[in-house]
Amino acid sequence: MGWILGDKFDSVYPHKGSIKALWETKWRAVCEKSVYPFHDGKLEDFEPIIEKLIAGNINDAYSDAYTETFLPFAESLEQRAAEALRKGDTSTASHLLLRAAVVYRIARYPYVGPDSTGLKRTAFERQKLAYLKATSFWSPPLTEKTVEFVHRAGNEGSQIPVYLRIPDDTGAKPVPCVLIMTGLDGYLPDNSQRIHECIARGWAVLVCEIPGTADCPADPRDPEAPDRLLDSLFLYLRSRADIDMAKVVVWGLSAGGFYAIRAAHTHRDHLAGCIAHGPGAHYFLNKDWLSKVEDHEYPFPIVSAWAKKYGYDEPADFCTQGQGKFSLLETGILDQPSTRLLLLNGVDDGVVPIEDCLLVLQHGNAKEARFYPGLPHMGYPYSLAEAYRWLEQLLA
């Protein structure tokens, strides 16, 4: 098929295969602005790391050599944080720990799964420790909770790890809640900016990971596993007197956007609305698309990580079988009624085709959408402002 991405579909983007090119054409500019994925980080934290990677000709982010390069720099930031704590300076310590967490994040980037071992898993565990220590000084604090996976099936784990932050001074009045569903490479400790923005507006935030990533216990091979995950999370939210269950919204990020679309249909009676931000639905699993996605804007090879995320040991099997098994079109989800659903993305998304958002608009009841011409995956930075505007109207 012909893709809206046009000539870019067959192009090999200039940063592919080179850390030096990736830094010079993409990451440096993002880091300078302290936006995703470097929010909470600083340029000075990454310049010496990138220099060492370039000097060592280390371009494979899946290698131990890549991850090892980051660890001493993260540890140095943690040591500085410890010194600040000894002096009683919790504000400086928190900022330094957040910076360390970002360095650990890029060290374990791009993918850690529930069964991952080795250095990537080590970096992820250290990231979580640094982040939770940093956020313990926030006011109000962010806390880690363990939710019982009541609706688990088969060999699924029994506990769902989540992060929760509740606004101060809620009194006896329950507050709206934004349930953030993370992505392929962004996990619980990677959402500071969104959490701050929600808290500032008086909304609680619950962050959870999606099947096949990080510490999520849901079976990645089962298309219905996310339904059981949400059922259990809603049970937990209903048990809290401080959450207004009439104003719960799911905000799915990138790969999490797929689950936000699904939730808008399968859990429509439990949700005030959903935001699917940079979502796939059907075409992102098309074998033609997958044959070229490695050449596009994602910093590193992505198909092998996607395959593992959906429970496939062999990427080739994922490319030929994934669409029939998981597509929201093929499984009939898109033709069900849905709650309010906002679709956000860049038209020039080379990770997930904009065709997926258009497909969602063509099925079921009417949806809402905002697409950004010329912008890549997620439609940053403009899509964030639109998400908050939409949520403000919905949760007023």
* DSSP codes of every residue in 267-302: TGGG-SEEEEES--SSGGG-HHHHTTGGGSSSSS--
CA 342 – CA 250 distance, rounded (Å)? 10
Residue 11: Cβ-neighbour burial (10 angstroms; 0-12, 13-18, 19+): middle
The whole-number mean pLDDT for each consecutive block of 10 residues of the chain, a chain of 396 residues, reads 94 96 94 81 95 98 98 98 98 98 97 97 98 97 97 97 91 92 98 96 98 98 98 98 97 98 98 98 98 97 97 98 98 98 98 98 98 97 96 97
7 is annotated as an active-site residue? no
254 is annotated as an active-site residue? yes
Q: Which residues fall within 8 angstroms of residue 216, CB to CB, at 6 or more apart?
A: 114, 160, 208, 209, 210, 229
pLDDT of residue 172: 75
Q: Which residues fall within 8 angstroms of residue 100, CB to CB, at 6 or more apart?
A: 74, 75, 77, 78, 81, 130
349 is annotated as an active-site residue? yes
Q: Mind listing the domains of the chain with CATH numbers? A: 11-136 (1.20.1440), 138-396 (3.40.50.1820)
- Pairing mode of beta strands 368-372, 341-346: parallel
pLDDT in tens, 182-221: 999 999 999 999 999 999 999 999 999 999 999 999 999 9
pLDDT of residue 128: 98
| HSE (side-chain half, CA atoms, 13 Å) at 136 | 11
Q: Which residue has the tokens 């062999």?
A: 314
pLDDT of residue 119: 98
Residue 311 token pair: 């429970």
pLDDT of residue 170: 65
Q: In what order do the strands lie in the sheet with 341-346?
A: 143-148, 159-165, 204-208, 175-181, 243-253, 273-277, 341-346, 368-372
Q: Which residue has the tokens 């360095």?
A: 103
Candidate list 296, 349, 363, 383, residue with the active-site label: 349
Candidate list 94, 192, 254, 327, residue with the active-site label: 254
CA 198 – CA 384 distance, rounded (Å)? 12
H or E element in which residue 368 lies: strand 368-372
Taking CA atoms, 311 is separated from 62, 72, 107, 181, in Å, by 18, 33, 23, 18
pLDDT of residue 40: 87
pLDDT of residue 1: 74
- Pairing mode of beta strands 204-208, 159-165: antiparallel
